[in-house]
């Protein structure tokens, strides 16, 4: 179980390359729609990027 978690986290590092663009696009969209401040936009972008990277790597690991 612990090996799976470590492997997923290690595989999420290269997945960051594929998850930066969706994070930036979601931050831009939410800034326009809800008039977010720049700090809130960055928080959304970073959180989306990390969640997307871990999701992609877990899908890759378990498929």
What pLDDT is stored for residue 37 in this prediction? 94
What pLDDT is stored for residue 56 in this prediction? 94
Residue tagged 């590092």 (tokens): 13
Residue tagged 């997923």 (tokens): 8
d(CA 56, CA 63): 11
> What is the residue-level pLDDT of the chain in tens, covering all 63 positions?
899 999 999 999 999 999 999 999 999 999 999 999 999 999 999 999 999 999 999 999 998
pTM of the entire predicted model: 0.86
Q: Angle at Cα 29 formed by Cα 23 and Cα 34, nearest 5°?
A: 120
What pLDDT is stored for residue 30 in this prediction? 95
What pLDDT is stored for residue 42 in this prediction? 96
């Amino acid at each position: 179980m612990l090996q799976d978690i470590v492997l997923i986290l290690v595989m999420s590092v290269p997945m960051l390359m594929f998850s930066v663009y969706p994070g930036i696009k979601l931050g831009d969209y939410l800034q326009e729609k809800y008039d977010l401040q720049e700090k809130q936009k960055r928080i959304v972008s970073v959180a989306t990027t990390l969640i997307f990277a871990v999701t992609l790597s877990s899908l890759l690991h378990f498929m």
